[in-house]
Chain A
Amino acid sequence: MAERDVQLPRRIHRLRTLGLAAGALPIAAVFYERGAAPATWIVLAANGFAWPHLAWLHARTSADPHRAERINLMVDSALGGLWVALMEFSLLPSVLLVTMLTMDKLGWGTRFLMRSSAAMAATCVATVLIAKTHVEPLTTMTEIVASLPLMVAYPIAVALAANQSGRLAREKRKAVEQTAALREQLAHIARVGTLGEMAAGLAHELNQPLAAIHLEANAALALGMQAGWDETRESLERISDQSLRAGDIVRRMRTFARRGQTGRERLALAPLVHEVLALLDHDLRHNSVETVIDLPASTAEVVADRVALQQVLVNLIRNAIEAMSVPAVATRRLAIRTEAHGSDVRVSVTDTGGGVDPAVRDRLFHPFQSTKAAGMGLGLSICQSLVEAHGGRVGAGPHPPGGALFFFELPAATASQVSGSQGSAS
């Protein structure tokens, strides 16, 4: 972090070294033409050749290089005002100086530009009042010639620096995009792996409506002519309901297994949680886990990728189920809660299992940390990277008396955030 923050002061240092050396030249020419006190010459030399390095040292050693650089830039402007007045407002060098100093501040926001301009004007007026300088704007040929290096070299250097920082920004953006693509690929592989682990349960889950459909159709056939319309209609209705249910199971699996981001959209958490619980219904029932759901409507909207959020929840809930599915755990209660946490929404998943081993607590979200015999140890680290990609954070802790708490926080959707592109589910 600190390493990256010094990049900007370093670029400014190079520009300042060049700009002040080139800027001292027309000022020196004015003093040469019109005469100046020895002390003024010393201050000019110090400003032109020592100050850039002092400013760099200040920024480099500061705890907040960015802030230090703002102070340096203000000093630049204030000194600029001093020199404009001492040059008796010789037109070309003064205009050049003011223009270059203004150019330096363009990237720092309007307020900073106004403040630095005010500092420049203040020192300028103060110098006029204290030193009683004349106003003699007519620029001599010598002064014009001495202004040329500043006029030519400095804008070129600024343009080069801007070009370089633009390239760096493009490279950084590209790297961020690649990271996002890699994260999505890894998340997809993990989802497919999770589905593989859930396959037996899901097959059983799918078999239930199929069995019911089959039995119902058989019942209708066996009842045949002897049954009335009502009996037959009841069978047909049940067949219809159960085939929809089977379709829902397949749809959930397909959504979960799909590749690629579905895009950020405004999501209500409550239906999402219910969807995930339906996906894990068999695991929950098979392990006799009681589910407590507390999702107050007021805290329940975020802007997120639907599948990514499902994956985080599936991971946390499956971990909770696994923690409780040992014979020693008598009470098996899974609780899913949402609550407002500042401007964030916190979703917590608690269990009544054996809790987190203190030995691994600090490394819970690190990749390849697994306490499971068959685990790769990627589940929680993927959860973390997915949540952080949404600008949120994950955490864990104990859930008294013995269980574990895992949570994630995401920025709550604000009123102005409307639902984005709705990814088609098929």
Chain B
Amino acid sequence: MNPHPPVFVVDDEEPVRKSLSRLLNAIGVPSETYASATAFLASYTGDRQGCLLVDLRMPGMSGLDLIAELDRRQIALPVIVMTGHTDERSVQRLEAYQPLGFLEKPFSIADLRSLVERWRAMLNAPPAS
């Protein structure tokens, strides 16, 4: 059996990153963590399956920048975006990229779990091409 594809956690905050990783582990999903969008882009080649869990607000390259860059590279990676309550305008712009979902911080494990479940369902039943 193939290993379960991981969630790529991109967040500049180390405690959040670590907690997310443990939380995902608790619901049975492997994860990889990255401290910045550039760190993720540097190691991700586009041929791996997975799901991006990214913080919208980050210094340097923001979550929005990262999603736009992936789109430009024609990488179709499912994306879950973590937002703060002051990010309405960025959220509107993000709609164009059709992310899997938004999580407004602080979010509950149930919200995260339901989005992860939706992604897993997509994995198991890829959309007819």
Give the interface of A toward B (CB within 8 A): 200, 203-204, 207-216, 218-219, 221-223, 227, 235, 238, 241-242, 245, 285-288
Number of interface residues of B (CB under 8 A): 23
Please tell me if the beta carbons of B26 and A207 are within 8 angstroms of each other in the complex.
no
Q: How far is the CB of A104 from chain B (nearest CB, A)?
A: 71
For B59, list chain A residues within 8 Å (CB): 285-288
Does residue B126 face the partner (Cβ distance < 8 Å to A)? no
Q: How far is the CB of A132 from chain B (nearest CB, A)?
A: 96
- Chain B residue at minimum C-beta to C-beta distance from A242: B15
Q: Give CA–CA (A104, B85) in the complex, Å.
A: 74
Q: In the complex, which of the residues A215, A218, A288 contacts B16, with contact meaning CB atoms closer than 8 Å?
A: A215
Q: In the complex, which of the residues B13, B15, B60, B109 contacts A218, with contact meaning CB atoms closer than 8 Å?
A: B109
- Choose the segment among B17-25, B42-50, B94-102, B117-125 that binds chain A (4+ C-beta atoms closer than 8 Å): B17-25
Q: In the complex, which of the residues B13, B60, B107, B109 contacts A212, with contact meaning CB atoms closer than 8 Å?
A: B13
Within 8 A of A (CB), among B43-97: 57, 59-60, 84-86
Q: How far is the CB of A371 from chain B (nearest CB, A)?
A: 25
Q: How far is the CB of A192 from chain B (nearest CB, A)?
A: 20
Once A207-B106, A209-B15, A211-B16 are accepted as A-B contacts, the answer to whether A200 and B86 lie under 8 Å apart by CB is yes
Show 5 residue pairs from A and B whose CB-CB distance is below 8 angstroms, ordered by the A residue: A210-B106, A211-B19, A214-B108, A219-B22, A221-B109
Q: In the complex, which of the residues A211, A219, A222 contacts B105, with contact meaning CB atoms closer than 8 Å?
A: A211
For A286, list chain B residues within 8 Å (CB): 57, 59
Please tell me if the beta carbons of A222 and B27 are within 8 angstroms of each other in the complex.
yes
Please tell me if the beta carbons of A219 and B26 are within 8 angstroms of each other in the complex.
yes
Q: In the complex, which of the residues B16, B23, B106 contacts A222, with contact meaning CB atoms closer than 8 Å?
A: B23
Q: Give CA–CA (A294, B105) in the complex, Å.
A: 36
- Chain A residue at minimum C-beta to C-beta distance from B103: A211
Q: In the complex, which of the residues A203, A219, A242, A285 contacts B12, with contact meaning CB atoms closer than 8 Å?
A: A285
For A242, list chain B residues within 8 Å (CB): 15
- Chain A residue at minimum C-beta to C-beta distance from B20: A215
Please tell me if the beta carbons of B109 and A204 are within 8 angstroms of each other in the complex.
no
Please tell me if the beta carbons of A216 and B12 are within 8 angstroms of each other in the complex.
no
Please tell me if the beta carbons of A204 and B57 are within 8 angstroms of each other in the complex.
yes
Q: Give CA–CA (A210, B59) in the complex, Å.
A: 19
